[in-house]
A and B are shown apart, each in its own frame.
Chain A
């Protein structure tokens, strides 16, 4: 493989093969979905839709179940992200900058959840929720999503706080700022871009979380992904699913734009043990 790097100006055949293969396998399916969403009529065996148009966008957007699912998903994501930020960011600061008994043990304890297959864990939580009558309630789903955000809403901001130069904070103390002012004027702005990525990931992650919402929320709580499953399973009109997919995809594209830098950095991969 290392051949690829050596002589310059030689055609990068391996790269071309990868690029072509990945384009076909990864990009084409997405294009097919987008095409479907704009197809007013597409009957077998035509390679392209017989008629393009926005008919199904209008019809999908006119469905009340889509709107209620969308508003539920947005509310859910906003609530989970806000609570998660409110409880995790102070904790992350404490982990990064304070010494207290059991700090390391508690910090690494958040990993324990990663040692178990996720759905198995969800079933165990669901069994507890069953006794607490939290099944099929909004707050039950909030709780389960919240737990899912804990690890990276603590670990990513901890790394962000730790990477803030302590001398910058000391210089601010020296200039006359008290500890709270230093945090507000120096530490937080310095850590903000990374923390913003974590918050965004938390929002998007909650928005797309399917398994917990399905297991805990069904049948009353229907988030967008849960609605999508029912469209796939029960909806004979393909275009509804296609339009919903494209709609559903928008937050992810926004996240893609904003978090690319974080994802491409080495520390992100290391966070997964790489």
Chain B
């Protein structure tokens, strides 16, 4: 049973605010992804939990025990670094045994635990290899094993797969998820890749400029983004700024009924929620055929470009004029949702 409680944590680097009064509860066995662009403060937050940065204010508790005053070596956290940070002067076994030796475990136990964890990450029999002889994926597995072997209460992963290629990333992502589920270990995973977050997380925390934009289940982050930023950051989204008057949103010649009070608004429409019919104000700039579907770029008369996903790419061609029919929309004003279809 290990839960993590972060309350009102801020980190100020001389003049810039890296993390701004951040609060989050992570339940036992939960995998939470911190998602955001670079500079959003997600890595800083993770490093504060690991003990590598000291918060300017706030509290971090693990199982209701304050850890903020503890140095990294005294915290029950295990961190996997982006650049794997394996100790190149030791072999795989020595890398994994280092922490256990510090804890003065008996030799036999060390051997047993290291072998068990190597088996867990699929590197059975690699103990005597030097870390530099391993491939990138294997190195990252060793780094993961090095954290797991100490049985931390909280596992912290700082963009662990960022330096690997797409294919390997996807495989390791699944492995991490499997291992996490099997060990039921409370995990915080930092990434800037939305695919990774959507595939892995029980919950996603979308961060921007050191603040939380939204905390929600992956499907909710995708379907019901809380702010225009989240809407734009996760998946492809048409974000159209315009004005609402008499229950109608309009931008140039494009208008949609929107039952909200008059004023400015930002409309968010997924490409797959925008159907096209021949004849209208939009001019097709390009049609890209992806085989399974087509993606159409449409230019409105004022130059706004809008994307629509269609099932048959052959149905439309560049230059054709089309009418846009949204099937599901969200609308935002002052960074908050004011309307959502359904």
Contact = CB atoms under 8 A, between A and B. Distances in A.
Interface of A: 165, 167-168, 170-178, 181, 185-186, 189-190, 192
B283 to A, nearest CB: 51
25 contacts: A165-B83, A165-B85, A167-B81, A167-B82, A167-B85, A168-B85, A168-B86, A168-B88, A170-B72, A170-B79, A170-B85, A171-B79, A171-B81, A171-B143, A172-B87, A173-B71, A174-B50, A174-B51, A174-B72, A174-B147, A177-B73, A177-B98, A178-B73, A189-B87, A189-B89
B266 interface: no
Given A174-B72, A175-B99, A177-B73, 19 more contacts: A165-B85, A167-B81, A168-B87, A170-B79, A171-B79, A171-B86, A171-B143, A171-B146, A173-B52, A173-B71, A174-B50, A174-B147, A175-B98, A175-B150, A177-B98, A177-B99, A177-B102, A178-B71, A186-B87
B260 to A, nearest CB: 49
Contacts, number: 64
Contacts of A190: 87-89
Contacts of B52: 170, 173
Contacts of A165: 83, 85
Contact of A167 (B78, B83, B103, B147): B83
B77 interface: yes
Interface in B91-147: 98-99, 102-103, 143, 146-147
Nearest to A193: B89
Contacts of A168: 85-88
Residue with the greatest number of chain B CB neighbours at <10 A, chosen from A171, A173, A178, A189: A171
Interface residues of B, number: 25
Contacts of A189: 87, 89
Contacts of B83: 165, 167
Closest 4 CB pairs of A and B: A175-B99, A167-B85, A173-B72, A171-B85
Contacts of B51: 173-174
A89 to B, nearest CB: 18
A178 B102 CA distance: 10
A190 B132 CA distance: 13
Given A170-B52, A170-B72, A170-B79, A175 B102 contact: yes
Contacts of B82: 167
Nearest to A171: B85
